[in-house]
């Protein structure tokens, strides 16, 4: 049985409740998402064992009823999830209160801003080649930061030296022509 249709009646009920708030409903990432002033507020989704509300800035919600949790501790920063396991779990006044509080956060301009991570360290193997080859160094420096990061991560994730060397030989010509690691997948 597919995840969404398993919870169709329950998801429809949540959508009907949220629709009472005046939020704008749309489909994003294949699921119902509700926005306020162009900002994502809450999403509705069905999973194998439960159905859920996702609060996009849930980290700021008071959660006095302690119904919200971070589904991927250490990864998910702002999103908070409210899981339901049966239609009877849906408390309409409580759902409305949480959604209205989330809308108020948008009104106040309260948005989670992810911390900027420092750029990753260039692997020694690539660093040696950049130091020895001025053309390669210049071409690498001209790449956008995200393209540089893609190459760095591509090399860094290889466990064996032979794999890192093979990957380096593959990417050197790409760097020299200013191509990003994943450019061939863009605009397809």
User: How much is the mean pLDDT over the chain?
Assistant: 91
* Cβ count near 68 (within 10 Å): 20
**What's the pLDDT at 1?**
46
- What are the residue boundaries of the structural domains of the chain, listed by start? 3-107, 124-182
**Contact between 85 and 49 (Cβ < 8 Å):** yes
Q: How confident is the model at residue 44 (pLDDT cuts 50, 70, 90)?
A: very high
pLDDT digits (tens, 9 = 90+) for 84-107: 999 999 999 999 999 999 999 999
The 10s digit of each residue's pLDDT in 59-68 is: 999 999 999 9
Which parts of the chain are beta strand (E)? Answer: 24-28, 31-36, 39-46, 51-55, 68-69, 80-84
Q: What is the CATH number of domain 3-107?
A: 3.90.1150.200
pLDDT of 71 > 90? The answer is no
């Amino acid at each position: 049985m597919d995840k969404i249709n398993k919870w169709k009646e329950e998801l429809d009920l949540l959508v009907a409740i949220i629709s009472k708030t005046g939020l704008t409903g749309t489909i994003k990432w294949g699921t119902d998402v509700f926005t306020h002033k162009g900002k994502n507020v809450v999403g509705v989704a069905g999973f194998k064992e439960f159905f859920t509300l996702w609060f996009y800035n849930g980290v700021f919600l008071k959660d006095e009823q302690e119904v919200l949790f971070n589904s991927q501790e250490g990864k998910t920063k702002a999103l908070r999830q409210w899981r339901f396991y049966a239609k009877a779990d849906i408390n309409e006044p409580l759902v409305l209160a949480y959604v209205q509080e989330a809308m108020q956060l948008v009104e106040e301009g309260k948005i989670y801003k992810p911390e900027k991570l420092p750029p990753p360290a260039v692997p020694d193997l690539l660093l040696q080649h950049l130091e020895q080859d001025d053309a390669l160094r210049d071409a690498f420096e001209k790449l956008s930061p995200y393209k540089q990061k893609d190459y760095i991560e591509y090399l860094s994730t290889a466990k064996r030296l032979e794999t890192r060397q093979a990957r380096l030989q593959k990417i050197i010509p790409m760097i020299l022509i200013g191509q990003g690691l994943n450019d061939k997948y863009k605009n397809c």
